Homo-oligomer: A and B are copies of this chain.
């Protein structure tokens, strides 16, 4: 089977580009995952997955990641994305990751994603210990993008071991 991720963090980013994909790329770079091969997942925190402040993986890695993103080419528009991770009371249980994006302010996106995490826990009768949330907003200049993401990653084998 595919290896289950053992670490997670929360990252956000925003940026501008000529094409929508370049704007998305700028947001990825700003979030610190611009040199990764993102494998979008839908979106569970594996049991015993450990929170890390800093994301670090070798360039070109296949990176399982849950994210919300929005890209717009309407100057002046406010776009936001938020990511929420629900940590279960029972450390042997899995948790839930939710993402949201919309034409709103970052704090509104954050509130929405937190509600979504709470609803997902309630639906499962899982006890919630904590919700970690990060959000970001961007006022579009020409073509802008936002991303809020939860990379799920691994202990990197040290070279030469």
Query: Is the CB of A91 closer than 8 A to any CB of chain B?
Result: no
The reply to whether A47 and B61 form a contact with Cβ atoms under 8 Å apart is no
Query: With the chains together, A157 CA to B1 CA distance in Å?
Result: 8
CB of A47, distance to nearest CB on chain B (Å): 6
Q: Which of B18, B49, B62, B112 contacts A19 (CB 8 A)?
A: B112
For A98-126 the 0/1 string (1 means CB < 8 A from B) is 11100000000000100110011001100
The reply to whether B152 and A98 form a contact with Cβ atoms under 8 Å apart is no
Residues of B contacting A155 with CB < 8 Å? 1
The chain B residue sitting closest to A66, CB to CB, is: B37
Query: Is the CB of A38 closer than 8 A to any CB of chain B?
Result: yes
The reply to whether B124 and A29 form a contact with Cβ atoms under 8 Å apart is yes
The reply to whether B29 and A37 form a contact with Cβ atoms under 8 Å apart is no
Query: Is the CB of A50 closer than 8 A to any CB of chain B?
Result: no
Q: Can you show 17 pairs from A to B with CB atoms below 8 A apart?
A: A4-B58, A4-B61, A18-B115, A18-B116, A19-B100, A21-B116, A22-B123, A25-B120, A37-B152, A38-B42, A38-B43, A39-B41, A40-B42, A41-B62, A44-B59, A46-B61, A60-B94
Q: Give the 8 A-B CB pairs with smallest separation, nearest first.
A: A46-B60, A1-B154, A59-B94, A2-B62, A37-B41, A38-B42, A60-B94, A22-B119
